[in-house]
Amino acid sequence: MNNFLPFQIHGGADQGGGIADSVASLLTFFEDVSTHDSAGIFSALMPGISSMENIHPLLVHFPIAFLSTFFVLDVAGTLAKKQHWRNVAGCLLYLGAVAAIFTVTAGFIAAGSVPHGADVHAIMERHEHLGISVLTLAALLSVWRMGSGGVIRGGANSFFLILAGLLCVLMALGADLGGLMVYKYGVAVKAVQVPAADVHEHEHNHAHDHQH
């Protein structure tokens, strides 16, 4: 127990450093950023975004987060009879619908800008159809929710939640196909070949030496 604090500050076996090394690394990073001109600062701060051929992979996280949280919160609000929960869920639905518009638009632009073969094209077509379906359902549910003043009850609410659940299923299927294109076929990925001699292996040796 007495060795716990020094371990956290100076690091240990597989952590590659503790708080001290993390702070030093952060300071070094900002020092390096300050040496760039105005054009290179963004690339230094956001190297991942700067390396992307399109922003569709960046935008897609927003409708997934908004719409899935909307569904969970709306179901919970219905079961717990908490209308204020459902009011928050409604706001998330609207945000998810707006985010889906930008995401689907960026997806169509990306489809026409990245090279891909016939096998990937078939997957991409299904991915696009699912994306359009999610956007359509999100828009439909948003209009319904707004038209009802945010309050839907009885059988209509059950049907509303069924459609919301279907939206989440379609969204998950679309996300799966997106992952398939990236992680199996490498669509829009600029892979860097790493020599076998340079492969970094993480060690996971955990000491269980507790002093009382």
pLDDT given for residue 81 in this prediction: 95
Residue 203 has pLDDT above 60, yes or no: no
Write phi, then psi, for 139 (nearest 5 degrees): -65, -45
pLDDT, greater one: 67 or 15: 67
Ranking 46-55, 61-70, 115-124, 133-142 by mean pLDDT, the lowest is 46-55
Q: Distances in Å between the alpha carbon of 154 and those of 28, 78, 159, 191?
A: 59, 10, 9, 53
Measured over the CA atoms of residue 186, residue 69, residue 106 and residue 49, the dihedral's sign is negative
Q: How many helices (H) and strands (E) does the chain have?
A: 9, 0
Residue 212 has pLDDT above 70, yes or no: no
Per-residue pLDDT tens over the stretch 64-116: 999 999 999 999 999 999 999 999 999 999 999 999 999 999 999 988 877 77
Q: What is the mean pLDDT of residues 47-72?
A: 86
pLDDT given for residue 182 in this prediction: 86
Asked if residue 54 lies in contact with residue 188, where contact means CB atoms within 8 angstroms, the answer is yes
Q: What is the mean pLDDT of residues 181-199?
A: 73
Per-residue pLDDT tens over the stretch 127-168: 999 999 999 999 999 999 999 998 999 999 999 999 999 999
- What lies within 8 Å, CB to CB, of 14 at 6+ separation is 202, 203, 204, 205, 206
Per-state percent for the chain, helix, strand, coil, to nearest 5: 70, 0, 30
Neighbours of 141 (CB within 10 A): 25
pLDDT given for residue 207 in this prediction: 46
pLDDT given for residue 140 in this prediction: 98
Quick one: which of 190, 167, 192 has its CA closest to 57? 190
Asked if residue 92 lies in contact with residue 73, where contact means CB atoms within 8 angstroms, the answer is yes
| Complete DSSP assignment for 77-141 | HHHHT-HHHHHHHHHHHHHHHHHHHHHHHHHHHHHTTS---HHHHHHHHHHHHHHHHHHHHHHHH
pLDDT given for residue 147 in this prediction: 95
